[in-house]
Amino acid sequence: MLSLKEKDKPIIKKLLSAGCCARCVLRFCCVSVQAAYRRPHQETLKELQAFIKSTEENNKSHDAAGSEPPDDPPSKRAKLEPIVAGAPSEEDSAAGVRLKDEESSVCVVCLGILQELCGTTQAVKMADAVKAEKYEFDTLVLSVSLPAQLCSVRLCEHVEKSAAVDKEDFIQVKEAFKWILQGLVSKELGGIAVVTRSLFEVGVEFTHPETDVDCHFLTTMNCLFLCRQSVFTRMAVVKALEKISEAKFLKHYPCPPVKPTSSCSSQDVQCLHVSIFVAGRYNKFCRNLPQTPWLIDGERRMESSVEELIAAPILSSFRADGFNFSSSGREDVDVRTLGNGRPFAMELLNPHRSRLSKVEMKQLQETINASSDKIRVRDLQIVTREAMSRMKEGEEEKTKSYTALIWTLKPIERDDITFIDDIKDLTLDQKTPLRVLHRRALAVRQRVIHSMNARFLDSHHFYLGLKTQAGTYIKEFVHGDFGRTKPNLCELLKTDTDILELDVESVDVDWPPSIPE
């Protein structure tokens, strides 16, 4: 039995006469019992008709009782018409025709979505799409995208006035659709729980070409932001309608709306798993490998990159559609990354597999390391989105250590470089280097070299060890970058210097957590 009240009867009658389906009537009557929407809509319509009819019959009986004298005997000359048992009256026949018409007509509010488009057929279609994609998941959430023109059906304002209720209390089409479908989809997927929040989303989009032009009048009513959009999005229509008075609206849009001749069309089912994040640390052992694909004027300059060597096995294992790669800083193509490596993280987009055991992650790490001798990965693990902020903090706030092979123009002796060991917390003013000016804004950045040490090789070469603030341009400190970095090593040694080799020895970011070998 539907949880309807006596005050709902005039509303129900008005909605049914306007062309609303049974489930939309329940929505406007603020029926929040989910089971009521899961009943076949034909049964609900019959019950609503009976609910109205009972009121009308009671009113007729009451009127008849009040108009006839209680003691007036029937006329002897009145001829009784023969009554055929089981034959329907004209009134019942008319009611049956109306019921049949209302069952077959398309709802003016939901455009058929809550009629024939939310049953077993739709559930099977959604379940088949999930099975075909071979996702691994424990729960799922349903989503539905409705035609933007549904927003312009303003029956709710009239119901709101009649029933003295807030339209915020009305049940939304999306909610009713989910209430009906969630049990059916769960059954088709073998009992998988359909919940309100999940990492895995199964969505369906509805379109209604017949009424696509219904929102176009908004472009003529000072809703200029719509004119700049190529499509009428649902949110854009909602915002536009908030600015329009009911009187202006009714000049352009009939209420109740014209009854549609066709239902909405269900588009392809879309499955989407939220991103997962894989982190680790990498070493780079060669001097001709960029961190990311190196493209100049659309032409590839290197056959591979650190990103690609790491990403390919990970994408395959998680069966993801794509990825975003990030790291705590980056090294130049000719710079090695040694020591405990550089922290990196990958966002895996729409992974079809979201969990790997520790053993499987270890095997994945070994697969990456066996694929190339140019890189090595360690501490590979799944992390949360929030934990990735730890890596980004290290880009500017932490320290990094380097070893550089230095060449000097003038011959040097061992004693000429010993003073370098005593330099502490040297502050540099570094104007954006010429070599990165095409991708970084022109600015002067202060960076600190916390300590240095020099190791003599020969009269023109020595090794320089540095511990610096993250973000320091080491090459520019060595050769001066035409005076754009001050002070620089040329000034300190009073001779031209250049850098022949550079290695990153450590990136002092305590993330991700170390995993014992």
Q: Mean pLDDT: which of 2-6, 47-51, 213-217, 294-298 is highest?
A: 47-51
pTM: 0.80
* pLDDT per residue as tens digits for the range 350-408: 999 999 999 999 999 999 999 999 999 999 999 999 988 888 776 667 899 999 999 99
Distance between CA atoms of residues 141 and 182, nearest Å = 9
Tell me the per-residue pLDDT of 242-270, one tens digit each, with 9 for 90 and over. 666 666 666 666 667 778 899 999 999 99
Q: How many CB atoms lie within 10 A of CB 449?
A: 20
Long-range own/partner contacts, residues 35-44 (CB < 8 A, 24 or more apart): 36/2, 36/3, 37/114, 37/176, 37/179, 37/180, 38/179, 38/180, 38/183, 41/114, 41/115, 42/103, 44/2
**Per-residue confidence (pLDDT) for residue 249, from 0 to 100:** 63
d(CA 2, CA 159) in angstroms, rounded, equals 19
- The pLDDT, as a whole number, for residue 517 is 77
Q: How many CB atoms lie within 10 A of CB 232?
A: 22
Task: Please give the average per-residue pLDDT across 120-141, as a whole number.
Answer: 96
pLDDT number for residue 174: 94
The residue type found at 466 is L
Confidence of residue 290 (pLDDT cuts 50, 70, 90): very high
DSSP 434: G
Q: Nearest-CA neighbor of 113 among 17, 20, 214?
A: 20
What number of H helices and E strands is found in the chain? 16, 17
Residue with tokens 């879309």: 270
CB 175 within 8 A of CB 24: no
Taking only the tens place, the pLDDT of each residue in 147-182 is 877 765 544 544 544 544 556 778 999 999 999 999
DSSP letter at 107 equals P
Strand-pairing partners, residue 498, are: 407
The one catalytic residue among 128, 297, 332, 421? 332
Q: Which fold would CATH assign to domain 276-397?
A: Alpha-Beta Plaits (3.30.70)
Instruction: Give domain limits for the chain.
Output: 7-54+106-214+253-272, 276-397, 400-507
Burial grade of 407 (CB within 10 A; 0-12, 13-18, 19 or more): middle
Residue bearing the bigger pLDDT, 85 or 329: 329
SS3 label, residue 323: strand
Contact 150, 111 (CB under 8 A): yes
Q: Which of 180, 107, 182, 102 is nearest to 150 (CA)?
A: 107
Match domain 400-507 to its CATH number in 3.40.50.970, 3.40.50.960, 3.30.70.3190, 3.40.190.10.
Answer: 3.30.70.3190
Beta strand 200-207 pairing with 299-300: unpaired
For the cut 70, the answer to whether the pLDDT of residue 310 exceeds it is yes
**Which residues, listed in sequence order, are joined to residue 376 by a DSSP beta bridge?**
283
Closest CA to 192 of 136, 241, 132: 136
> Would 276-397 and 400-507 be classified into the same CATH topology?
yes
Greatest Cα-to-Cα distance within the chain, rounded to the nearest angstrom: 142
pLDDT at 331 > cutoff 90: yes
Q: Does the pLDDT value for residue 218 go beyond 90?
A: no
Mean pLDDT over each residue of the chain, to the nearest integer: 85
Q: In sequence order, what are the beta bridge partners of 296?
A: 299
510 is an active site residue: no
